[in-house]
Structure 1
Amino acid sequence: MQKFTQSVSVLVSTACLMVALQCVPAHAKEPRIDIGYVENGLQLTGTQWTRDPVTGEFIPNVNSSSTAAADPNQYMADTHCRADGPDTKDPGCDALECPATETNTEAGTPVIWKEAPKAITNPGWTDWIPVTGPTCLYDPQPENVLDNIAARILNDFQQLPINPGTLQAQPFPHTLKGAPTNFYTTASEQDFDVSILGQAVHLTATPANYTYAFGDGTSLGPTPAAGYPIPETEWLNTQTRTSHSYTETGNYQATLTTSFTGTYSVNNGPPLPINGTLNLTTPAQTIQVWKTQRALVADTCQENPNSWGCPGAKPK
């Protein structure tokens, strides 16, 4: 009887190589927010920010001459809106109550956020559209508490329990030497509602850029590319923007550091950018890099489970 031989490819694990790597992403200097005051309320002006007319968000100005254009509008927390005051012309002023709370021994002050062009002296203020009704401020001088919040907001932002996401790899946990390994992350935008100095503060943390540390002494980033999963049929022949090819076999500890930027708003006021970032690193993923070997064998694994290259067979 004629016996046929067949060629099989197997993955042979080699000695593990542990490489420690720490990546410290660059901290970009964020634009500055100026906080000033106007009669009867708090005025916010953006020397380096512009309010998006559609979303109401504040975004950094970009100017090729490095001189940022000024926000044409100014904003005010109108303290005329008082439940116990004579001026209740703003809708809802006489309906909103701001009672004392556990963290506020005094009753609060209802305010309505207003906006007007900065270029006009003594402007006619109009309601700031993203907030259509009054909200509460609990400090006797609202401008002081908002200024204090602005001074400490970065520290509070950096204490938030933000989920850094996870680092994913394809294929995983085994990949091949010289073949592309696709990396991507699951980090996402997250919202938090907290109390700071007795005020209701809403914070949003947004992934801005990523630094991939592959564990072999190389890294990618900071980059805005979060990566994405690809079909299994494309794992070994598709190079993505966040792929990496290992040149040696071994075990590598891969990590991802995500830089989060943030915005905050006080008592439903305008969202303001936080001057700083929060950098979070994912737990390490062990990437086992193998190599392929080919050999002619006399038996299939079904015929001889101990044949070379079969699962559980002793290496020769």
Structure 2
Amino acid sequence: MLIAPLVLTLSIGLLFTGAARADASQCLGGSWSGTCSATTDGSQVDVGAGVTTPGNPGASNGEGGSGGGPGGGSGTTPPAAEEECDSALCRPLYSVVTLPDVTAEDLRSFIPALPTVTGEPLGLGVVGMPTNLVAASSVQLQSGPLLGFDVTVRFTPTGYRFDHGDGTSRTTTTGGSSWARLGVPDYTATPTSHVYGAPGSYRAGVRVVYTAAVNFGTGTWRPVTGAVTSAPAFYDVRVVVVRTGLVQRTCAEDPSGPGC
């Protein structure tokens, strides 16, 4: 309060020592306005204050600004340090996982089943006439680990590579179909048939080309870069020479006739 300094100065001013007089002068001079006190018992002076820094930054009456008094503060209360939070409320409730891009090379442990392959006439072929090769495959699903994830891989057949066993081959978008299903006469050329030029035994083979997609459990199929080709399935063909001639009776009528 500001009443005490005047009274004390008049009544006990002669008793202040040099250090005490300096403290009292600082207190009574207004640097500690509103927070400073001074008392004496006749032999010494006690000077005290509610804060230790002149220019109280927290004063509500606007005193103690950045200018004027010794050690004046900035006039604002420094922000309190943020406390580190380690509770469940401060931790995120989800995480973002980036799914990898998958290539055909990554699917080495996923092996599609072999196709089935057959031919017409069954096991036989005639030199110079179409031998009808027929392969079949279907969409396949396989599950297992891939790049650290449990996934399902889907293989879809998109092409067929026929190796005829005589040094020739053909790639088609279909596995072919029987003459009867196609509604054509026997020995009709088809997209998967082949004409052998010489008699002999041949091992025909077919590989299926698949496109693949991967499901990481999200319900969405992600396409795989590249294609997957199956191992070959084989079909043995015996190719013969057939000659014709005019006869009076059929083989049913004369089993010992020419060509029977």
TM-score (norm 2): 0.55
The answer on 1:249 being equivalent to 2:184 is: no
The C-alpha deviation readout for 1:128-184, integer Å capped at 9, x for no partner, is: xxxxxxxxxxxx6622xx23xx35x63452322311212221112012111111112
Tell me the residue number matched to 1:61.
Answer: none
Name the CA distance, whole Å, in 2 between partners of 1:240 and 1:301. Answer: 30
Unaligned runs of 5+ residues in structure 2 are 1-87
Q: Map of 1:149-160 to 2, 5 A cutoff?
A: 150=101, 154-160=104-110
**What is the rounded CA distance, in whole Å, between the counterparts of 1:281 and 1:197 in structure 2?**
24
1:191 to 132, 141, 144: 141
Residues 98-133 of structure 1: per-residue CA shift (max 9 Å, x gap) = xxxxxxxxxxx997xxxxxxxxxxxxxxxxxxxxxx
Per the alignment, residue 173 of structure 1 pairs with 123
The 10-residue stretch of structure 1 (181-190 or 223-232) with the greater mean CA deviation from structure 2 = 223-232
Determine which of 152, 162, 168 is the counterpart of 1:202. 152
> Larger Cα Rg: Structure 1 or Structure 2?
2
Query: Structure 2 CA distance, aligned partners of 1:302 and 1:184?
Result: 31
Partner of 1:231: helix, strand, or coil? helix
Show the counterpart of 1:225.
Answer: 174
Distance 2:198 2:136 in 1: 27
How many pairs does the alignment contain? 172
1:214 paired residue number: 164
Opposite residue 210 of structure 1, the aligned amino acid is: Y
| Bigger strand fraction | 1
SS across alignment from 2:230: strand
Task: State the 1:197 CA deviation.
Answer: 5.5
CA contact (8 A) 1:167 1:282 kept: no
One-letter code aligned to 1:256: V
Residue 288 of structure 1 deviates from its aligned partner by 0.7
Rate the CA distance shift 1:224–1:186 in 2: closer, same or farther, 3 A: same
Q: Which of the numbers 212, 225, 241 marks the counterpart of 1:262?
A: 212
Matches of 2:165 and 2:236, distance apart in 1 = 9
Q: Are positions 1:237 and 2:193 aligned together? A: no
Shift of 1:281: 3.3
Residue 197 to residue 254, structure 1, CA distance change in 2 (3 Å): closer
Q: Which runs of 5+ in 1 are unaligned?
A: 1-84, 87-108, 112-139, 311-316
CA deviation string 1:183-205 (max 9, x = no partner): 12111110112233663311100
CA contact (8 A) 1:189 1:206 kept: yes
The structural deviation recorded for 1:272 is 0.6
Q: For 1:229, give the aligned amino acid.
A: S
Quick check: 2:115–2:207 contact (8 Å CA) kept in 1? no
Farther-moved stretch of structure 1 (259-268 vs 278-287)? 278-287
What letter matches 1:244 in structure 2?
H
After the TM superposition, which of the residue ranges 238-247 and 158-167 deviates more from structure 2? 158-167
Higher share in helix: 2
Task: Report the secondary structure of 2:104's partner residue.
Answer: helix
RMSD between aligned alpha carbons? 3.4
Shift of 1:302: 8.0
C-alpha separation in 2, matches of 1:110 and 1:254: 59
Q: How high is the TM-score relative to the length of structure 1? A: 0.46
CA distance in 2, matches of 1:236, 1:275: 41
Give the match for residue 142 of structure 1. Answer: 97
Q: 3-state DSSP class of the match of 2:233? A: coil
Q: Give the CA deviation at 1:252.
A: 1.1
Q: CA contact under 8 A between 2:207 and 2:233: conserved in structure 1?
A: no
CA distance in 2, matches of 1:219, 1:302: 39
Q: Percent identity?
A: 26
Distance 1:158 1:278, change over 3 A: farther
Counterparts of residues 1-316 of structure 1 (less than 5 Å): 142-143=97-98, 146-147=99-100, 150=101, 154-196=104-146, 199-221=149-171, 223-231=172-180, 234=184, 236-294=186-244, 309-310=259-260
Could you list the per-position Cα deviations for residues 194-247 of structure 1 after superposition, in whole angstroms to 9, with x for gaps in the alignment? Answer: 2336633111001121111111121112x2122112229956332111111111
Gap change, CA 1:306 and 1:198, over 3 Å in 2: same
Cα distance in structure 2, aligned partners of 1:278 and 1:231: 32
